[in-house]
Structures are given as structure tokens and as C-alpha cells.
Chain A
């Protein structure tokens, strides 16, 4: 029998609006919602049976949410070096930031777990590299660099939405 567990924001047309003038519009989809993902219990863990998606939802978001759901199932000590499990609230925070800074046709980031329960999203395309780190108990930060160049830039995510947005646009 399927059960419903609180998880990441589900993806539906009603929750995700296309971006127009304001980049902050999409993030509002994740606030003040009791959104649930349908899962099917298994003996050792729960795994989402399905994600409710709509064609209007950006491809990167569907893929990223699926990756995050996969990573949320990693057990304690998933790396064999004592890592803790991913924290759901960090995943939600990361999603809200991504929705703010990414255009609908943005390239999909890779999502990797951090050993402290946080996550990092990253892009490596055409010699350009962007990493956004969401650590546990620390302020999210970004790091940008280009291959074969001294150029690198880093800072806090909250103060740098425009720069991060520009870096992602240049990844296309």
C-alpha cells in the first residue's frame, strides 16, 4: 500500500510558474506548502514511486529533484568515512535557491552529497566550472573558475544571485 511522507516539494504546474519579469516568482512555489511525494515502502527504505510533473516544469528541475530524492536515501556512513545522512531542510533550501537563479532552459547541474549532511551542485561545461555548496550549519557559498585560467571567484550565495545567474547562463 502506498503511503505519503513529507518530502521535497512536488512538481506540479500549480506549484511552478514560468518565469516572466521577476526571478523570485518560482521560489514562492516552495513556501508555505505541505507538499508530499508519493512513495512505496520497501523493506529497507522508502523510494518515491513517482513524481508528479508537468511538461512546463523545466527539465533541469525534474532531473535535479530526482537526483536529490536518490541522495536522500543514502544511509548513514554512505561514504565509509563516517558521513551523515543528507538533511532534508538543506535540500529544500538548495532547491529554492536554484529556482531563483536558474532560467527554465538552464543546463542541469550535477548534485553531490557532502559528508556533513549538506549538498553541492556543480556544472562543468566548456571549460567553465561553477560549484554551489550548501553545507550543514554554514552559509551557502559559490565558487566559479575557468580551466587554464587564473580566474576564480567565490562568495556567499545570498549576496550574489546576479553573478551566479550570469555564470549559469554562460554554461548553456
Chain B
């Protein structure tokens, strides 16, 4: 974890920040859709992968899932994070040189703003709730269908 957080001006507002989403953070939305929980964007120091660092190393965005292949992948823009009071900076790690952060307090409305702006990378569109439900069932995570009640 970084200790000296700062907003890095070398990271442009348009840069995509890749954020993995754990299966438990996908919930049932309206009309058979799935939706990412705001809890996925709650951490004060939100870990992300920086697109330009990955590109420079010849890595695809989906490589962000290399150690967590069951996760999903979304992206948010650095500028959106900044407009919501976050500092965006690099925090390279031995196991992930592209690691960075969106650092700052995230109120519920900020969590929601980040979640709503997040675009799907893997898969390239939101999976259906049925797909998610079945996957949760296979992995024994919150396996019951909330819609059953």
C-alpha cells in the first residue's frame, strides 16, 4: 500500500483505470439485469491498474485478471475520479507494475458515481443476472435466488 499519495499530473484524465470486480460484488438489478454493487468502489485507497503502464509493457487490459481469473473487469476514467475528489497515482508493485490507486474518501454518492461510470471490459457487456446467479451457485457464494422471495 502506498503511503505518500499524490495526484499524478502525468496520468491524463482520459486514462482508463482498470478495476477488478469480485463475483460477490455483482448483484441483482432491475429486469433480470446484473449490476455492480457500489461496495466495489468503496475503498479509501481503491486499487486499479493504469492503462498506459500496461500498454507500455505490451499488456492487454484483461491481463489485469491474471491472478484472479474468476473476477470481472471494469474501467473508470482518471478524470471522473478526480472530479469526485480522488487523487489518482501510481503504486507499482513487484507482482503488478501497473498498480495504481484512486485515493480519497468515497461517500455513497461518490461510490455510486464511480460504479455508474464504470465500463465493462471483461466481459464486454454486463452479464445477465441469471449468468451471475448460476456462477455464484457453482462457487457456493450467495447461491440462492433473491428474486425467489
Contacts and interface: CB of A to CB of B under 8 A. Distances in A.
Interface stretch (A2-10, A23-31, A62-70, A89-97): A62-70
Contacts, number: 95
19 contacts: A63-B146, A71-B141, A79-B22, A79-B25, A80-B20, A80-B22, A80-B71, A81-B20, A107-B149, A108-B149, A110-B37, A112-B27, A112-B39, A120-B38, A122-B37, A122-B38, A125-B30, A133-B108, A143-B109
A152 B109 contact: yes
B109 A120 contact: no
Interface in B37-71: 37-39, 42-43, 47, 67-68, 71
Contacts of B43: 81, 115
Interface string B22-38: 10110111100001011
Interface in A66-119: 66-67, 70-71, 73-74, 78-82, 106-115
A112 B35 contact: no
A126 B148 contact: no
B30 A124 contact: yes
B43 to A, nearest CB: 6
A120 B37 CA distance: 9
A106 to B, nearest CB: 8
Contacts of A107: 146, 149
Contacts of A122: 27, 37-38
B143 A70 contact: yes
Interface of B: 1, 20, 22, 24-25, 27-30, 35, 37-39, 42-43, 47, 67-68, 71, 108-109, 112, 140-149
Contact of A63 (B29, B37, B148): B148
Interface string A37-61: 0000000000100000000001110
Contacts of B25: 79, 112
Contacts of A82: 1
Interface of A: 47, 58-60, 62-63, 66-67, 70-71, 73-74, 78-82, 106-115, 120, 122, 124-127, 131, 133, 141, 143, 145, 147, 152, 154
A59 B149 contact: yes
A147 to B, nearest CB: 8
A171 to B, nearest CB: 11
Contacts of A108: 144, 146-149
Contacts of A147: 30
Nearest to A60: B149
B30 A110 contact: no
Given A80-B67, A112-B39, A66 B143 contact: yes
